[in-house]
């Protein structure tokens, strides 16, 4: 099979400027590298911020964004026979992959925490000429990258959520369970109903919570939340007074506050206010915060509530696999594929980003024609 000489890509050449459609030469593949045809690349909230250079990291441009990709294997080197779970793979199979973790550093080797890898090589954040981003026709999957074959009965739209939001929540829930997890009958509050919030809601709903209360200012998102297992929804616009709002949510929890709060909104004020919704004792899981800004909080609120506060970031291939299994098991009950609210051709990536920024699309996705 002939490797294409070039790949079209929507390239972030300069922060705050529209992406440019360019022909990028396909780099020479090294031993063990794969080439994938991008089938579906979803647009992450992170991309929206990256394009504007609003993240705490500032990778140099030009960049091909896109770290949520379902790719079809186009070139498979002889040395690669299976995915990480031992499932045989062939050309044409659909796969998803994590960032490349080197496997040799202290975080990988000693802590067994690849997401903290000191020498990781990311997809969707690297130099455009390395062709490692989903906003393109083709993507190079470097030798040593952990990847998983997408099961045949899971669609691209259902699977792609596992690439970022889903795996992030699975990793966070693993950490939550190390601290006692969600007990049967617990009241769980999820603040922020983007893709991360939705996966938090559905996994909490399947974990024995008696109440899963979703909080968001978008009615559209709250409708999604109900379909994904929320038992109650709260729109802060209906409760503009903070004291009344906190009491309302505490009352929904049965008057004693939430046993578990999961912060997925990214809002600093929400992060701070959630300390008033905690029950005693409580667990507070933080997965939505991405900025470097700060907000005042009262440390005694941790102490008084006997609270366990847990932060969690990203996920490695274990979490992709567990998330795919979760999706596969529950796909008849929950409309996972609906997370992709609109599809765009690659050349229309700027419109996709704009629609995400405007909140029109819950998740936009790019497809190759």
Nearest to 259 by CA among 306, 200, 197: 306
By the rule CB under 5 A, 108 interacts with Zn ion: yes
Residue 314 Cβ vs Zn ion, minimum distance, rounded to whole Å: 9
Which part of the chain contacts Zn ion (CB under 5 A), choosing from 20-28, 163-171, 258-266, 352-360?
163-171
Exactly one of 20, 33, 102, 276 binds Zn ion (CB under 5 A); that residue is 102
Among 21, 22, 29, 105, binds Zn ion (CB under 5 A): 105
Contact between 67 and 163 under an 8 Å Cβ cutoff? The reply is yes
If the CB atoms of residues 164 and 187 are measured against Zn ion, the closer one turns out to be: 164
Q: Which element (helix H / strand E) includes 24? A: strand 20-25
Distances (CA, A) of 196 to 264, 287, 347: 6, 8, 27
* 255 burial level (CB within 10 Å; 0-12, 13-18, 19+): exposed
> Which is closer to Zn ion, CB of 286 or CB of 308?
286
Region near Zn ion per CB under 5 A, out of 164-172, 232-240, 343-351, 357-365: 164-172
- CA 173 – CA 355 distance, rounded (Å): 30
Q: Omega of the bond prior to 288 within 30 degrees of 0, cis?
A: no
* Binding residues with Zn ion: total (CB under 5 A): 8
Query: Does residue 164 belong to the site contacting Zn ion (CB under 5 A)?
Result: yes
Shortest CB 365 distance to Zn ion, Å: 12
**Residue span 24-63 as binding mask against Zn ion, x where in contact by CB under 5 A, dash where not:** --------------------x-x-----------------
Q: Which residues are catalytic?
A: 46, 49
Tokens read off for 179: 């601290």
Asked if residue 68 has a cis previous peptide bond (ω within 30° of 0), the answer is no
Give the binding range for Zn ion (CB under 5 A) out of 8-16, 93-101, 184-192, 230-238: 93-101
Put the strands of the sheet holding 278-286 in their side by side order: 232-234, 211-215, 187-191, 258-263, 278-286, 307-311
Which DSSP symbol is given to 48? H
- Piece of the chain touching Zn ion by CB under 5 A; list 22-30, 110-118, 239-247, 288-296: 110-118
Q: How far is the CB of 9 from Zn ion (least distance, A)?
A: 18
Interface residue with Zn ion among 11, 38, 117, 261 (CB under 5 A) is 117
Residues of this chain that interact with Zn ion (CB under 5 A) are: 44, 46, 101-102, 105, 108, 117, 164
């Amino acid at each position: 099979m002939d490797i294409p000489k070039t790949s079209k890509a929507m390239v972030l050449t300069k922060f705050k400027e529209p992406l440019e459609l360019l022909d990028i030469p396909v780099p020479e593949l090294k031993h063990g590298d794969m080439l994938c045809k991008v089938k579906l690349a979803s647009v992450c909230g992170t991309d929206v911020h990256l394009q504007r250079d609003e993240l705490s990291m500032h990778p140099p441009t030009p960049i091909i964004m896109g770290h949520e990709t379902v790719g079809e294997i186009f070139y498979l080197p002889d040395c690669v026979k299976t995915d990480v779970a031992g499932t045989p793979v062939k050309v044409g199979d659909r796969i998803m992959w994590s960032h490349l973790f080197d496997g040799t550093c202290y975080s990988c080797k000693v802590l067994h925490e690849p997401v903290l890898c000191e020498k990781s090589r990311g997809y969707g954040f690297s130099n455009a000429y390395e062709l490692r981003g989903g906003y393109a026709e083709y993507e190079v999957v470097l030798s040593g990258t952990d990847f998983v074959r997408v099961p045949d009965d899971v669609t691209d739209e259902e699977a792609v959520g596992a690439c970022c939001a889903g795996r992030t929540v699975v990793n966070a829930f693993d950490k939550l369970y190390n601290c006692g997890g969600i007990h049967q009958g617990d009241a769980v509050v999820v603040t922020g109903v983007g893709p991360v919030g939705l996966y938090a809601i559905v996994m909490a709903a399947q974990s024995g919570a008696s109440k899963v209360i979703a909080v968001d200012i978008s009615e559209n998102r709250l409708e999604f939340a109900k379909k994904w297992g929320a038992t109650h929804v709260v729109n802060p616009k209906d409760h503009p007074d903070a004291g009344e709002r906190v009491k309302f949510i505490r009352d929904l929890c049965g008057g004693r506050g939430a046993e578990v709060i999961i912060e997925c909104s990214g809002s600093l004020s929400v992060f701070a206010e959630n300390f008033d919704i905690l029950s005693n004792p409580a667990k507070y899981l933080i997965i939505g915060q991405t900025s470097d800004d700060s907000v005042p909080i009262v440390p005694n609120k941790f102490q008084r509530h006997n609270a366990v506060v847990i932060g969690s970031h990203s996920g490695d291939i274990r979490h992709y696999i567990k998330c795919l299994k979760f999706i596969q098991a529950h796909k008849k009950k929950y409309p996972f594929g609906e997370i992709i609210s609109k599809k765009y051709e690659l050349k229309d990536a700027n419109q996709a980003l704009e629609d995400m920024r405007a909140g029109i699309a819950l998740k936009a996705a790019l497809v190759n024609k």
